[in-house]
Amino acid sequence: MTKKAGMSDKNNQQNPGDRIAKVMARAGLASRREAEAWIAAGRVAVNGAVINSPALNVTASDRIAIDGQPLPRRERTRLFRYHKPRGLVTTHSDPEGRPTIFAALPKDLPRLISIGRLDINTEGLLLLTNDGGLARVLELPATAWLRRYRVRAKGRVMQPALDKLREGITVAGVHYGPIEATLDREQGANVWLTIGIREGKNREVRKVLETLDLQVNRLIRVAFGPFELGDLGDGEVKEIESQALRTELGEKIVTEAGADFDAPLVDHDARPVASRHPEVRAKRDSRDDESPRRVHPNDKKKQPRRDRTGGPRPKYPR
Protein backbone atom coordinates (compact mmCIF):
# COMPACT_ATOMS: atom_id res chain seq x y z
CA MET A 1 0.00 0.00 0.00
CA THR A 2 1.24 3.49 -0.83
CA LYS A 3 2.47 5.56 2.10
CA LYS A 4 0.94 8.91 2.81
CA ALA A 5 2.63 12.04 1.51
CA GLY A 6 4.82 13.63 4.17
CA MET A 7 6.45 10.36 5.24
CA SER A 8 10.13 10.43 6.12
CA ASP A 9 12.78 9.92 3.47
CA LYS A 10 14.02 6.85 5.35
CA ASN A 11 10.62 5.16 5.21
CA ASN A 12 10.22 6.18 1.57
CA GLN A 13 13.51 4.54 0.67
CA GLN A 14 12.23 1.30 2.22
CA ASN A 15 8.97 1.51 0.28
CA PRO A 16 9.18 -0.19 -3.16
CA GLY A 17 8.61 1.79 -6.33
CA ASP A 18 9.77 5.16 -7.57
CA ARG A 19 9.18 8.76 -6.53
CA ILE A 20 5.93 10.00 -8.01
CA ALA A 21 7.53 12.97 -9.81
CA LYS A 22 9.92 10.55 -11.52
CA VAL A 23 7.02 8.35 -12.63
CA MET A 24 5.13 11.36 -13.98
CA ALA A 25 8.21 12.57 -15.83
CA ARG A 26 8.78 9.18 -17.43
CA ALA A 27 5.19 9.29 -18.69
CA GLY A 28 6.24 12.34 -20.71
CA LEU A 29 3.87 14.85 -19.12
CA ALA A 30 6.45 17.16 -17.57
CA SER A 31 9.92 17.42 -16.12
CA ARG A 32 10.39 16.30 -12.53
CA ARG A 33 10.49 19.91 -11.41
CA GLU A 34 7.23 20.68 -13.18
CA ALA A 35 5.65 17.52 -11.77
CA GLU A 36 6.58 18.63 -8.26
CA ALA A 37 4.96 22.01 -8.95
CA TRP A 38 1.75 20.28 -10.08
CA ILE A 39 1.75 18.24 -6.87
CA ALA A 40 2.20 21.37 -4.74
CA ALA A 41 -0.73 22.96 -6.62
CA GLY A 42 -3.03 20.05 -5.71
CA ARG A 43 -3.38 18.74 -9.26
CA VAL A 44 -2.24 15.19 -8.51
CA ALA A 45 -4.12 12.39 -6.74
CA VAL A 46 -2.92 8.90 -5.78
CA ASN A 47 -5.51 6.19 -5.19
CA GLY A 48 -8.22 8.84 -5.10
CA ALA A 49 -6.53 11.13 -2.54
CA VAL A 50 -4.97 14.47 -3.52
CA ILE A 51 -1.35 14.72 -2.43
CA ASN A 52 0.66 17.86 -1.65
CA SER A 53 4.21 16.51 -1.37
CA PRO A 54 6.44 14.75 -3.91
CA ALA A 55 8.04 12.73 -1.07
CA LEU A 56 6.03 9.69 -2.06
CA ASN A 57 6.92 6.40 -3.72
CA VAL A 58 4.41 4.70 -6.01
CA THR A 59 4.27 1.34 -7.73
CA ALA A 60 2.49 -0.01 -10.79
CA SER A 61 -0.50 -0.94 -8.62
CA ASP A 62 -1.12 2.68 -7.55
CA ARG A 63 -3.68 4.79 -9.41
CA ILE A 64 -2.31 8.22 -10.33
CA ALA A 65 -4.44 11.02 -11.78
CA ILE A 66 -3.59 14.55 -12.89
CA ASP A 67 -6.47 17.02 -12.97
CA GLY A 68 -8.80 14.04 -12.65
CA GLN A 69 -7.34 12.27 -15.71
CA PRO A 70 -5.51 8.94 -15.30
CA LEU A 71 -1.75 9.08 -15.76
CA PRO A 72 -1.07 7.76 -19.29
CA ARG A 73 0.68 4.43 -19.41
CA ARG A 74 4.36 4.54 -20.09
CA GLU A 75 5.36 4.01 -23.69
CA ARG A 76 8.54 3.51 -25.64
CA THR A 77 11.21 6.18 -25.16
CA ARG A 78 11.28 8.35 -28.27
CA LEU A 79 13.37 11.34 -29.35
CA PHE A 80 12.67 13.86 -32.10
CA ARG A 81 14.79 16.49 -33.82
CA TYR A 82 12.85 19.71 -34.30
CA HIS A 83 13.88 22.81 -36.24
CA LYS A 84 12.54 25.59 -34.04
CA PRO A 85 11.75 28.76 -35.99
CA ARG A 86 12.21 32.23 -34.54
CA GLY A 87 9.14 33.74 -32.91
CA LEU A 88 8.05 30.66 -30.93
CA VAL A 89 8.52 30.15 -27.19
CA THR A 90 9.58 26.79 -25.76
CA THR A 91 6.67 26.16 -23.42
CA HIS A 92 3.25 24.52 -23.45
CA SER A 93 1.44 27.78 -22.68
CA ASP A 94 2.62 31.36 -22.46
CA PRO A 95 1.08 33.93 -20.08
CA GLU A 96 1.80 36.66 -22.64
CA GLY A 97 -0.11 34.81 -25.33
CA ARG A 98 2.89 34.30 -27.60
CA PRO A 99 2.85 31.33 -30.01
CA THR A 100 4.48 28.16 -28.67
CA ILE A 101 6.35 25.31 -30.30
CA PHE A 102 3.91 22.76 -28.89
CA ALA A 103 0.92 24.44 -30.50
CA ALA A 104 2.79 24.36 -33.83
CA LEU A 105 3.68 20.66 -33.72
CA PRO A 106 1.67 18.09 -35.70
CA LYS A 107 -1.29 16.79 -33.70
CA ASP A 108 -0.44 13.12 -34.19
CA LEU A 109 2.77 13.29 -32.17
CA PRO A 110 2.93 11.82 -28.65
CA ARG A 111 3.05 13.95 -25.53
CA LEU A 112 6.42 15.70 -25.80
CA ILE A 113 8.61 17.88 -23.63
CA SER A 114 11.72 19.77 -24.67
CA ILE A 115 15.25 18.95 -23.64
CA GLY A 116 16.39 22.39 -22.53
CA ARG A 117 15.02 25.48 -24.21
CA LEU A 118 15.73 27.97 -26.95
CA ASP A 119 14.58 31.53 -26.39
CA ILE A 120 12.06 33.19 -28.67
CA ASN A 121 14.71 34.75 -30.95
CA THR A 122 16.88 31.64 -31.19
CA GLU A 123 16.28 29.09 -33.93
CA GLY A 124 17.60 25.70 -34.88
CA LEU A 125 17.85 22.27 -33.28
CA LEU A 126 15.62 21.50 -30.31
CA LEU A 127 15.35 17.93 -29.03
CA LEU A 128 11.90 16.73 -27.99
CA THR A 129 11.11 13.54 -26.08
CA ASN A 130 8.19 11.70 -24.52
CA ASP A 131 10.42 10.56 -21.63
CA GLY A 132 10.94 13.07 -18.82
CA GLY A 133 13.67 10.93 -17.31
CA LEU A 134 15.72 11.19 -20.49
CA ALA A 135 15.11 14.94 -20.69
CA ARG A 136 16.38 15.39 -17.14
CA VAL A 137 19.60 13.42 -17.72
CA LEU A 138 20.47 15.22 -20.96
CA GLU A 139 19.93 18.59 -19.27
CA LEU A 140 22.23 17.79 -16.34
CA PRO A 141 25.51 19.78 -16.29
CA ALA A 142 27.33 16.50 -15.64
CA THR A 143 26.23 15.16 -19.04
CA ALA A 144 28.04 18.12 -20.64
CA TRP A 145 27.06 17.48 -24.22
CA LEU A 146 28.38 20.10 -26.59
CA ARG A 147 25.81 22.53 -27.96
CA ARG A 148 27.06 24.06 -31.20
CA TYR A 149 25.71 27.29 -32.72
CA ARG A 150 26.15 29.34 -35.86
CA VAL A 151 26.14 32.98 -34.84
CA ARG A 152 25.81 36.18 -36.82
CA ALA A 153 26.81 39.26 -34.84
CA LYS A 154 27.33 42.93 -35.59
CA GLY A 155 30.87 44.08 -34.95
CA ARG A 156 34.44 42.95 -35.50
CA VAL A 157 36.57 40.45 -33.61
CA MET A 158 39.87 38.65 -34.13
CA GLN A 159 40.50 34.97 -33.49
CA PRO A 160 42.93 35.55 -30.57
CA ALA A 161 40.13 37.28 -28.62
CA LEU A 162 37.85 34.33 -29.27
CA ASP A 163 40.56 31.86 -28.21
CA LYS A 164 40.64 33.43 -24.74
CA LEU A 165 37.08 32.22 -24.17
CA ARG A 166 38.46 28.69 -23.84
CA GLU A 167 39.61 29.72 -20.36
CA GLY A 168 36.05 30.57 -19.32
CA ILE A 169 34.74 34.02 -18.46
CA THR A 170 32.74 35.72 -15.72
CA VAL A 171 30.05 38.19 -16.78
CA ALA A 172 28.05 40.22 -14.22
CA GLY A 173 28.95 37.75 -11.49
CA VAL A 174 28.04 34.66 -13.52
CA HIS A 175 30.87 32.32 -14.50
CA TYR A 176 30.73 30.56 -17.85
CA GLY A 177 32.93 27.54 -18.50
CA PRO A 178 35.23 27.01 -21.49
CA ILE A 179 33.73 28.15 -24.79
CA GLU A 180 34.91 27.07 -28.23
CA ALA A 181 34.66 29.97 -30.67
CA THR A 182 35.83 30.20 -34.28
CA LEU A 183 35.69 33.18 -36.65
CA ASP A 184 34.26 31.83 -39.91
CA ARG A 185 34.02 34.97 -42.03
CA GLU A 186 33.09 38.63 -42.21
CA GLN A 187 29.96 39.77 -44.03
CA GLY A 188 29.37 43.50 -44.29
CA ALA A 189 29.03 44.93 -40.79
CA ASN A 190 28.65 41.41 -39.35
CA VAL A 191 30.80 38.42 -38.53
CA TRP A 192 29.82 34.75 -38.66
CA LEU A 193 31.07 32.59 -35.80
CA THR A 194 30.82 28.96 -34.73
CA ILE A 195 30.33 28.65 -30.98
CA GLY A 196 30.43 25.52 -28.83
CA ILE A 197 29.21 25.51 -25.21
CA ARG A 198 28.51 22.73 -22.71
CA GLU A 199 26.52 24.49 -20.00
CA GLY A 200 23.74 26.27 -21.86
CA LYS A 201 23.17 28.92 -19.20
CA ASN A 202 20.55 31.63 -19.68
CA ARG A 203 21.40 33.64 -22.82
CA GLU A 204 25.01 32.50 -22.49
CA VAL A 205 26.12 33.07 -26.08
CA ARG A 206 24.63 36.55 -26.30
CA LYS A 207 26.01 37.71 -22.95
CA VAL A 208 29.52 36.39 -23.55
CA LEU A 209 29.79 37.94 -27.02
CA GLU A 210 28.62 41.28 -25.66
CA THR A 211 31.86 41.41 -23.68
CA LEU A 212 33.64 41.44 -27.05
CA ASP A 213 31.42 44.28 -28.33
CA LEU A 214 29.50 41.89 -30.57
CA GLN A 215 25.73 42.20 -30.85
CA VAL A 216 24.12 38.89 -31.81
CA ASN A 217 21.41 39.34 -34.45
CA ARG A 218 20.99 35.70 -35.43
CA LEU A 219 21.56 32.58 -33.35
CA ILE A 220 21.08 29.09 -34.78
CA ARG A 221 21.74 25.90 -32.84
CA VAL A 222 23.08 23.33 -35.29
CA ALA A 223 23.98 20.45 -32.96
CA PHE A 224 23.26 19.08 -29.49
CA GLY A 225 25.73 16.33 -28.63
CA PRO A 226 25.70 13.75 -31.44
CA PHE A 227 22.41 15.03 -32.89
CA GLU A 228 22.56 17.53 -35.76
CA LEU A 229 20.11 19.97 -37.32
CA GLY A 230 21.17 18.80 -40.78
CA ASP A 231 18.76 19.70 -43.56
CA LEU A 232 15.61 20.03 -41.44
CA GLY A 233 13.62 23.02 -42.66
CA ASP A 234 11.91 25.55 -40.40
CA GLY A 235 9.22 23.83 -38.35
CA GLU A 236 10.14 20.31 -39.43
CA VAL A 237 10.31 17.47 -36.92
CA LYS A 238 11.88 14.07 -37.48
CA GLU A 239 12.07 11.07 -35.17
CA ILE A 240 15.35 9.31 -34.45
CA GLU A 241 14.98 5.55 -34.85
CA SER A 242 15.15 3.59 -31.59
CA GLN A 243 18.23 1.57 -32.53
CA ALA A 244 20.20 4.63 -33.60
CA LEU A 245 18.98 6.53 -30.54
CA ARG A 246 20.16 3.88 -28.10
CA THR A 247 23.55 3.76 -29.81
CA GLU A 248 24.02 7.54 -29.70
CA LEU A 249 22.90 7.86 -26.09
CA GLY A 250 25.18 5.11 -24.82
CA GLU A 251 24.40 2.59 -22.09
CA LYS A 252 25.37 4.95 -19.25
CA ILE A 253 22.76 7.56 -20.20
CA VAL A 254 20.15 4.92 -21.06
CA THR A 255 20.57 3.33 -17.63
CA GLU A 256 20.66 6.61 -15.71
CA ALA A 257 17.56 7.90 -17.51
CA GLY A 258 15.70 4.61 -17.14
CA ALA A 259 14.86 4.77 -20.86
CA ASP A 260 12.59 1.99 -22.15
CA PHE A 261 12.98 0.93 -25.78
CA ASP A 262 10.85 -2.20 -25.44
CA ALA A 263 7.54 -0.62 -24.39
CA PRO A 264 4.81 -0.33 -27.04
CA LEU A 265 4.10 2.64 -29.25
CA VAL A 266 0.81 4.41 -28.54
CA ASP A 267 -1.37 6.48 -30.86
CA HIS A 268 -2.35 9.84 -29.43
CA ASP A 269 -5.56 11.62 -30.32
CA ALA A 270 -5.39 14.16 -27.46
CA ARG A 271 -2.90 16.84 -26.57
CA PRO A 272 -0.81 16.59 -23.37
CA VAL A 273 -2.44 17.13 -19.99
CA ALA A 274 -0.14 20.13 -19.55
CA SER A 275 -1.62 21.91 -22.57
CA ARG A 276 -5.26 21.32 -21.57
CA HIS A 277 -4.99 22.96 -18.18
CA PRO A 278 -3.51 26.16 -16.76
CA GLU A 279 0.15 25.38 -16.48
CA VAL A 280 1.89 25.45 -13.11
CA ARG A 281 5.65 25.40 -13.59
CA ALA A 282 8.66 25.79 -11.38
CA LYS A 283 10.95 28.62 -12.42
CA ARG A 284 13.24 27.61 -15.22
CA ASP A 285 15.64 29.65 -17.30
CA SER A 286 15.03 30.03 -21.01
CA ARG A 287 17.97 28.53 -22.89
CA ASP A 288 20.18 29.85 -25.66
CA ASP A 289 20.35 26.63 -24.89
CA GLU A 290 11.48 8.86 -39.66
CA SER A 291 9.56 10.78 -42.15
CA PRO A 292 9.65 14.52 -41.67
CA ARG A 293 6.42 16.08 -40.39
CA ARG A 294 5.94 19.62 -41.65
CA VAL A 295 4.02 22.51 -40.19
CA HIS A 296 4.52 24.93 -43.07
CA PRO A 297 1.44 26.74 -44.43
CA ASN A 298 -0.19 24.62 -47.16
CA ASP A 299 2.10 21.75 -46.09
CA LYS A 300 4.31 22.23 -49.15
CA LYS A 301 7.37 20.06 -49.50
CA LYS A 302 10.73 21.73 -49.77
CA GLN A 303 13.78 20.40 -51.50
CA PRO A 304 16.82 19.74 -49.30
CA ARG A 305 18.88 22.90 -49.13
CA ARG A 306 22.42 23.89 -48.37
CA ASP A 307 23.45 25.62 -45.17
CA ARG A 308 21.01 28.55 -45.05
CA THR A 309 23.22 30.51 -42.69
CA GLY A 310 26.09 30.99 -45.09
CA GLY A 311 29.68 30.07 -44.38
CA PRO A 312 31.17 26.63 -43.78
CA ARG A 313 29.32 24.00 -41.79
CA PRO A 314 31.15 23.02 -38.59
CA LYS A 315 32.02 19.55 -37.39
CA TYR A 316 29.79 18.17 -34.64
CA PRO A 317 31.78 16.40 -31.88
CA ARG A 318 30.02 15.49 -28.65
CB atoms near residue 25 (< 10 Å): 27
Distance CA 258, CA 26 (A): 8
The secondary element (H helix, E strand) that includes residue 21 is: helix 20-26
How does DSSP assign 146-191, residue by residue?
PEEEEEEEES---HHHHHGGGG-EEETTEEE---EEEEEEEETTEE
Beta bridge partners of 147: 197, 224
- What are φ and ψ of residue 113, in 5° steps? -130, 160
**Nearest alpha carbon to residue 227 among 318, 137, 305, 311:** 318
- Please calculate the CA angle 138-141-144 and round it to the nearest 5 degrees: 70
What is the longest distance spanned by two Cα atoms in the chain? 69
Contact call for residues 310 and 150 (beta carbons, < 8 A): no
Active centre residues (catalytic): 119
Distance CA 149, CA 87 (A): 18
Strand 215-224 vs strand 122-129: parallel, antiparallel, or unpaired? parallel
Contact call for residues 44 and 24 (beta carbons, < 8 A): yes
Contact call for residues 84 and 90 (beta carbons, < 8 A): yes
Alpha-carbon distances, residue 152 vs 9, 46, 74, 146, 299 (angstroms): 50, 50, 42, 19, 29
